[in-house]
Amino acid sequence: MTLTLVSCNQKPSLQTYFVEKSEAKDFVTLDLGTGFIKADKLKLTPEENSAMESMQKLNVLIFKSNNTNAAEYDTEKDKVKKLLKTDNYEELMKVNTSQGGMSVSTKGKGEHIEEFVLFLNRQDTGFGVIRVLGKDMTPQNVLTMVNLLQKSDLDTGQLKPLMGIMKQK
């Protein structure tokens, strides 16, 4: 009975949203371990090693918009925005344009960041939420990971579903 009460009282979270939408129409999810960065072929600096060790995985959720689901796009986009405001995320940056927007948020404090979230949206293609999960990540770790992504030989086979879904119409 306690388990039932606890599960009923669980507030909505970005994690539960990912789980709920993993099988939903117009959504694609992708979970990646750090192995998609072929770091074994690189000579990593101590900072790069530290960044790799702090990151555990990436979760990606994409909603692909089309001519028939514009209302659903707006509803789902608003749900994600609300979750980012109410689920203990701190917004670090936000950019809005006439075509869409982007935000970067974190969960955790200082040198103990558990999660970075990149939220991108564009009316004509859809939106994407990228969660970088780790342990004791720092903003510098994330910047280092971005640099590693640029210079590594990525295993792009794992990313093909993501690339296909976000192509311009």
In tens, the pLDDT along 132-150 reads: 898 888 878 877 877 776 6
| Strand runs labelled E in the chain | 27-33, 55-64, 90-96, 100-109, 112-122, 126-137
- What's at 78, amino acid-wise? D
Domain boundaries, the chain: 13-165
Short-list 132, 148, 156, 165, CA closest to 39: 148
For residues 123 and 101, give the distance between their C-alpha atoms in angstroms, rounded to a whole number. Answer: 9
Pick the more confident residue, 130 or 168: 130
Q: Which residue has the tokens 């295993």?
A: 155
The C-alpha atoms of residue 25 and residue 1 are separated, in whole angstroms, by: 33
Which residues share a beta bridge with 103?
Answer: 94, 119
Q: Which two tokens stand for residue 53?
A: 């060790």
Strand partners, 63: 27, 127
pLDDT tens digits along 13-49:
999 999 999 999 999 898 887 766 666 667 888 888 8
Which residues are CB-contacts of 163 (< 8 A; sequence separation ≥ 6)? 156
Residue 163's pLDDT band (boundaries 50, 70, 90)? low
pLDDT digits (tens, 9 = 90+) for 95-124: 988 888 899 888 887 778 899 898 999 888
Query: In this predicted structure, what is the pLDDT of residue 24?
Result: 94
What integer pLDDT is reported at residue 82 of this predicted model? 95
Determine how many CB atoms are found less than 10 A away from the CB of residue 19. 13
Confidence tier at 72 by pLDDT (50, 70, 90): very high
